[in-house]
Copies of this chain bind each other. A is one copy, B any other.
Amino acid sequence: MAKKPNKLKIIPLGGLGEVGKNITIFEYKDDIVIVDCGMSFPEDEMLGIDVVIPDITYLFKNKEKIRGIVLTHGHEDHIGGLPYVLKKLNVPIYGTKLTLGLVENKLKEHKLNNVKLNEVRAGDIIKLGCFKIEFIKTSHSIPDSVALAIDTPVGMVVHTGDFKIDYTPINGNLIDLHKFAEIGKKGVLALLADSTNVERPGYTMSEKTVGDTFNDIFLKAPQRIIVATFASNVHRIQQVIDAAEMFNRKVVLSGRSMINTTNVAKELGYLRVQESTIIDINDMDRYSSNQIVILTTGSQGEPMSALTRMAFSEHRKIELVPGDLVVISASPIPGNEKTVSGIINRLMEIGTKVIYESLADVHVSGHACQEELKLIHTLLNPKYFIPVHGEYRHLKRHEELAIELGMPKENIFLAKNGSVIEFTKNSANMGQSVQAGNILVDGLGVGDVGNIVLRDRKHLSEDGLIVVVVTISKQDGKVIAGPDIISRGFVYVRESEDLMEEARKVVRDVLTECEKRHITDWATLKSSMRNALRSFIYEKIKRNPMILPIIMEV
């Protein structure tokens, strides 16, 4: 019998069929390399959940194989899962300087001091087990982003990470298209590429265009300027600082993550800023309003963010006044449209002028549109293709784009989280899937909130709750106190006294009936109370509160 050939397995554990939580496994014989380890924000139905991290059961089972985690850049959807995973797996991390700076900050917050962080530069090649990994400079909405060329025993695999092509990057660091061309020429077995913007035709504009708009805005603004953007968008922050210095304004930082990231970026040399440009928020009063720019978090209308507090006049140090100019330098992430719109309304009611994306070019995306993707596909000319980073609609559209470029449909793998795509030197196929999914983090609890708890939260959120308590006698099973009825999230109690009194009577009648029929087992008593109350309430006001019968015995 012929020996089965060893195969390279590529296993996306997150980031497919979703936006966020990116993590991909590369496995060959006894070696595993993990690319990125992100988190995502909870979906609407994940009530009360703080963050979502990938299910890494598969990695636990194979932990002796893991050679390291390689990071493409420092966004939360690529590094946010690290603290949770590193509490259970102690493996070395590899990434560029700014990426590791942000990781270090994060690990400190989680009191993780034992993690080995290994700095690399674009152009470096590292060896992890049987894999040789080269870091390739790319453009993205955070500096120091890289793609990975992973030289495996069966061939070269390229993972783009998140990227776009910016011919005029504001830090002068061009995406290394020559390297992509060179690798493509040598031959690429498989490509994994960012699908976020694949539905958009054309090109993503250069970050530089935002700077031009800023200059126009700064030139004309008569009072304070407030710029809200992602704290991680160091290029954007640089452009605000540049405009501030050009127009003699001081920069005030607002929002914890804005202060943290700016400090890390400045320390590590990713921000060019004069000593006196950034001032303390408490020194703001020493300048006139046309000498101030406030750089703030909250571009997504996050409830506790600095911009939201300003808009609702709840910020302790900054009070917006008519004539101030707020620039929202970001697009609402899908799902945040209404919240952002609410903030814009509030800001306008205060009398501030608000500039946002649909009014001026104050934001560009960090992801490649169709023409950019075509360039990368063409330069690399891979044999196989796995679209990554996107909802199903994006992955599907990316498949179509590859087909338009001439790739056979059977060479493209529309995978799911947990899919295993197996490669030999000249073949690829979908193998048996492994466990993958969402682990929900709520407070300190990781994974202790699941479907039952969420279903209960949803039920409680829509209809509230009624608790019915009775005390019965141990001796004869007779009711000796209650039934008492307490409700929360159901009706205004004061205006519904009659309803609650009737409800109590309904339960009393059920209990009398049970007593008559000598029913004493608690399960039957409870379900009788629950059913009677449910029917009564639904008939009366067409609502379905959760009903919680409790029996005490004395």
* Interface residues, chain A, with chain B CB atoms under 8 Å away: 17, 43-44, 47-48, 199, 334-335, 337-338, 341, 344-346, 348-349, 354, 358-359, 391-393, 396, 442-445, 448-450, 452-454, 456-465, 467, 469, 471, 480-482, 484, 486, 488-492, 495-496, 540-543, 546, 548, 550, 552-554
* Given known A199-B358, A464-B453, A496-B448, contact A338–B541 (CB-CB < 8 A): no
* 18 A–B pairs (Cβ distance < 8 Å), ordered by A: A47-B489, A48-B461, A48-B489, A334-B337, A337-B337, A348-B392, A445-B491, A450-B492, A453-B464, A453-B490, A456-B488, A460-B460, A465-B465, A469-B552, A471-B552, A480-B554, A481-B552, A484-B550
Q: Interface residues of A: mostly helix, strand, loop or mixed?
A: mixed
- Number of identical monomers bound together in the oligomeric complex: 2
- Which of B199, B453, B484, B488 meets A492, CB within 8 Å? B453
Pair A452/B492 contact, Cβ less than 8 Å: yes
Across the two chains, which residue of chain B brings its CB closest to A445? B541
A454 to B543, CA, bound (A): 15
Report how far A454 CA is from B540 CA in the complex, Å: 20
Q: Write the nearest CB–CB distance from A324 to chain B, whole angstroms.
A: 15
Whether B396 contacts A554 by the Cβ 8 Å rule is no
A415 to B552, CA, bound (A): 57
- B396 engages A348 (CB within 8 Å): yes
Query: Do A482 and B552 contact each other (CB < 8 Å), given the known contacts A344-B393, A393-B341?
Result: yes
Q: In the bound complex, do residue B540 and residue A444 qualify as a contact, i.e. CB atoms below 8 Å apart?
A: yes
Whether A44 contacts B338 by the Cβ 8 Å rule is yes
Q: Would you call B469 and A47 a contact (CB within 8 A)?
A: no
* A461: contacting residue among B199, B392, B460, B552, CB under 8 A: B460
Asked if B345 contacts A392 (CB within 8 A), the reply is yes
Query: Beyond A334-B341, A467-B467, A488-B548, is A458–B456 a contact (Cβ under 8 Å)?
Result: no
Separation of A392 and B456 alpha carbons in the complex (Å)? 36
Closest beta carbon of chain B to A415's beta carbon, Å: 13
Let me know if A491 and B348 touch, CB within 8 A: no
Q: How far is the CA of A61 from the CA of B344 in the complex (A)?
A: 35
Given contacts A460-B461, A482-B552, 16 further A-B contacts (CB under 8 A): A47-B489, A334-B338, A334-B341, A345-B391, A345-B392, A345-B393, A453-B491, A457-B464, A457-B489, A458-B461, A460-B465, A471-B471, A471-B481, A484-B550, A486-B548, A488-B546
Q: Within 8 Å CB of A349, what residues of B?
A: 392
Closest to A344 in B: B393
